[in-house]
């Protein structure tokens, strides 16, 4: 049954953080610490206010960076370099996931709100190098973040992607609303489901889910 839901898919779109590696790696915990410090230094506020702004901008603008750019005119370059300068030691190669991604027919891409250099380091640390036809970061999206439609439109146009024959794998439920509206198959990758009309499938085991796609059940 699951196989038939994806039998038309020729482009597979993967988010990066907490999708191609488990949330238990806690990379984003490191990034959040660096984001908070950056906001403190750049705006001259204390830690509590920086945390409040970071959460508010993520909620209202899609990412902390988008809010900083919109409200404060921040140059994204230094910010992106600083907040992604973290340790990748918590990540380990996943041969099973690599094999299952490699088995997918058609085009395979990564689309993240982070930067391409950061994404490439994550991909390498997970043993997934050479499996993706393209990696798109926030720069390639014109600094429009997911979940905004401008981010998807910019990246999909650049890639030549047809949403009607594509699937999106993503840990943040709100980032699946636009792909659903465009006609993509949507897969929420997270420890717990988040029921919503725009989410077609949920999994807490990406490799296992991809294995099921090749099974004609």
Three-class DSSP labels, the chain? CHHHHCCCCCEEEECCCCCCCCHHHCHHHHHHHHHHHHHHHHHCCCHHHHHHHHHHHHHHHCCHHHHHHHHHCCCHHHHHHHHCCCCCCCCCCCHHHHHHHHHCCCEEEEECCCCHHHHHHHHHHCCCCCCCCEEECCCCCCCCCCCCHHHHHHHHHHHCCCHHHEEEEECCHHHHHHHHHCCCEEEEECCCCCCCCCCCEEECCHHHHHHHHCCCC
Check residue 121 and give its pLDDT.
98
> Where along the chain do its domains lie?
2-22+91-213, 27-83
Check residue 217 and give its pLDDT.
54
Task: Round to whole Å and give the CA distance between 198 and 177.
Answer: 5
pTM for this entry? 0.93
Would you place residue 77 in the very low, low, confident or very high pLDDT band (cuts 50, 70, 90)? very high
Check residue 62 and give its pLDDT.
87
Architecture of domain 27-83: Orthogonal Bundle (1.10)
What is the percent of the chain with per-residue pLDDT over 90, rounded to a whole number? 94
> For 139-161, what is the mean pLDDT?
97
- What is the tens place of the pLDDT at every residue in 151-200? 999 999 999 999 999 999 999 999 999 999 999 999 999 999 999 999 99
First to last CA, the chain: 5
Check residue 61 and give its pLDDT.
92
- What is the tens place of the pLDDT at every residue in 78-91? 999 999 999 999 99
Task: Round to whole Å and give the CA distance between 215 and 202.
Answer: 17
Question: Given a cut of 90, is residue 3 above it in pLDDT?
Answer: no
Q: Tell me, which fold does domain 2-22+91-213 have in CATH?
A: Rossmann fold (3.40.50)
Question: Given a cut of 70, is residue 216 above it in pLDDT?
Answer: no
- What is the tens place of the pLDDT at every residue in 112-129? 999 999 999 999 999 999
């Amino acid at each position: 049954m699951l196989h038939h839901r994806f039998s038309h898919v020729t482009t597979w779109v993967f988010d990066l953080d907490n999708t191609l590696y488990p949330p238990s790696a806690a990379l984003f915990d490191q990034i959040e610490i660096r984001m908070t410090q950056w906001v403190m230094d750049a705006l001259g506020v204390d830690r509590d206010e920086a945390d409040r702004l970071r959460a508010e901008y993520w909620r209202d603008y899609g990412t902390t960076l988008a809010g900083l750019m919109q409200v404060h005119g921040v140059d994204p370059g230094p910010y992106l370099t600083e907040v992604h300068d973290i340790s990748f030691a918590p990540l380990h190669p996943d041969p099973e996931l690599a094999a299952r991604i490699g088995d997918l027919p058609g085009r395979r891409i990564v689309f993240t709100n982070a930067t391409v250099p950061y994404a490439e380091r994550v991909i390498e640390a997970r043993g997934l190098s050479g499996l993706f036809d393209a990696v798109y970061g926030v720069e390639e999206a014109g600094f429009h973040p997911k979940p905004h439609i401008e981010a998807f439109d910019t990246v999909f146009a650049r890639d030549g992607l047809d949403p009607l024959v594509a699937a999106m794998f993503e840990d943040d439920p709100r980032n699946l609303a636009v792909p659903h509206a465009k006609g993509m198959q949507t897969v929420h990758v997270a420890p717990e489901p988040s029921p919503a009309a725009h989410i077609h499938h949920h999994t807490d085991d990406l490799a296992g889910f991809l294995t099921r796609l090749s099974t004609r059940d």
